[in-house]
Chains A and B, each alone.
Chain A
């Protein structure tokens, strides 16, 4: 039996995801990263919102919290500030995080609260059967963009970095080793860390956009990704429409929960219990 199975609630498997879905690959990478950095199951809380990817915590043997649509980071903020010694991980999707949860995302990044967020970005609302999301590429087809999407997508990693997150990385379900390494590094960061995992939805996104089956979609990720370290070597016209993968941001910044605890210590050393 794989040692990674001990991180799963095996009796709640099999999962609800469609054949060919990349979400299992991302969960596998998350579990391997958790194992790599040695997080304790009893001291790790996994929080999610609503959507296909947000069902993942139910399969994972930790304290798990499946919240309302878009709000995982706000719930997670309450958990982290109440028990700063716990590792808090948020699992979310592109609709959950970039649309309805966008406000919580930029503010969690701005505060720099010690939460690791893994966004399963499959460019579509899967749970509701294939509507376009804020990360659906321009011109792509979805049930609500039958003539091709007119909405310009976010570069979500760039947005999170701009909002102040000290750690940002991106990988695809083709680049599994990189994905594991990025999540593992994110888990060791004291502060808000963000990993965007580009994953395939052959059922809704792939089919609508004639991308073929899951293997063809993985091929697409392989052929259209470039590591950020190699980006400079590409001529500018070739950089367009590339999926830039790798570690996109790493810097130092004061962490929110720690700053709060420092404040409590400072006030208490000055004496007085309230008035």
Chain B
């Protein structure tokens, strides 16, 4: 692909991607290791006619982002662990009221204040289940600076097309490392939220007769509609328990479930004859690939699988590729949050070997390689 070659940090690539996707509103609160995103957008957005605001906290940040999106702007916030915890309630609001928005969480070691400048992947379950109640969400997970650029654009694309919050789950390694990036020239297609085609007096903000993603008007355009986090009918007004609420929840969850195959984004190498499969995501994927290559040099039939879409989880695709595998190794900078998901996907048929890190240090190739060697000894 032709394009401009740049040396960028992950957080910088996120900003480049967001602006290319049409970001027009950013609200955020300073927090390491995501702050560069806010700093860069504070400089760039006003020049591009967009809005940057530093809010009083992360709760206010996500709230302002949702308000801006309802007023018609592509909107985003960025944060890290503690701030992500504070945002959960309003992420649920965006899911319930179907307001497109992008939330970047640059993971750092936790819980609590933890290690503010050190990497971790402890938020992968929180990204899926952090707010109360069943809700649809898509979580994308970059493992390089260039992928951060592309996945940020995808985050806007999916968020707008499905009217859901999309979380870009980066980590401190990817956010702060610098790499060669090719920024493609020309337009990158990004879908926009469907717009109403009926006159205002006929408009229903949650009308599912147009499909499972209802057309979305903007405040101030004359449609005079109501938005609430309460359970609601197609007119947007509150309803009680029963069929209408059941149908609403089914449609909300179905928006992601029915598109699971389109959302899955797997990369693989050496998987054809792999007996030992390394399944990874985020920055440990880099070490995983290196370890697999080193193992191949040693004659071990190791394979590499990486998912860039963490949620929805690629269960079927993983099971399909693991059919010949004798062992699955899952390196992750947490206590094994995705390991359980892998085991569930494989119905506990294949032994899963976790390689975890909880000390705030990044995952190294040698750690993954020793797990591969150990597994090879058992094949």
Contacts and interface: CB of A to CB of B under 8 A. Distances in A.
A64 B137 CA distance: 25
A74 B47 contact: no
Nearest to B19: A274
14 contacts: A42-B220, A42-B224, A43-B220, A66-B227, A71-B60, A74-B64, A80-B67, A83-B71, A83-B220, A86-B220, A260-B51, A264-B46, A274-B44, A275-B44
A207 interface: no
A76 B229 contact: no
A74 B63 contact: yes
Chain A interface main SS type? helix
Contacts of B223: 63
B212 interface: no
Contacts, number: 140
B224 A58 contact: no
Interface in B43-84: 44, 46-49, 51, 53, 55-57, 59-61, 63-73, 75
Interface of A: 9, 12, 41-43, 45, 47, 57-58, 61-68, 71, 74-83, 85-86, 103-104, 107, 260, 263-264, 267-268, 272-275
Chain B interface main SS type? mixed
Q: Give the residue among B19, B44, B229 with the most A Cβ atoms within 10 A.
A: B229
Interface of B: 19, 24-25, 27, 44, 46-49, 51, 53, 55-57, 59-61, 63-73, 75, 89-90, 93, 218-230, 237-238
A275 to B, nearest CB: 8
A79 B55 CA distance: 14
A83 B219 contact: yes
B228 A77 contact: no
Given A41-B224, A63-B223, A273-B47, 19 more contacts: A42-B221, A47-B67, A66-B226, A66-B229, A66-B230, A68-B89, A71-B59, A74-B56, A74-B59, A74-B64, A78-B67, A78-B70, A78-B75, A83-B71, A107-B55, A107-B56, A263-B46, A264-B46, A268-B49
B131 to A, nearest CB: 11
B90 to A, nearest CB: 6
Q: Give the residue among B49, B73, B228, B229 with the most A Cβ atoms within 10 A.
A: B228
B47 A77 contact: no
Contact of B72 (A76, A83, A107, A275): A83
Nearest to A264: B46
Given A82-B51, A273-B47, A57 B67 contact: no
A226 B61 CA distance: 40
B90 A267 contact: no
A71 B220 contact: no
CB-CB nearest 4 A-B residue pairs: A78-B67, A74-B63, A78-B64, A82-B71
A82 B47 contact: no
B100 to A, nearest CB: 13
Contacts of A82: 24-25, 51, 67-68, 71-73
Nearest to A71: B63
B295 to A, nearest CB: 43
B224 A77 contact: no
A76 B93 CA distance: 15
Contacts of A67: 63, 66, 93, 229
A264 B226 CA distance: 31
A105 to B, nearest CB: 10
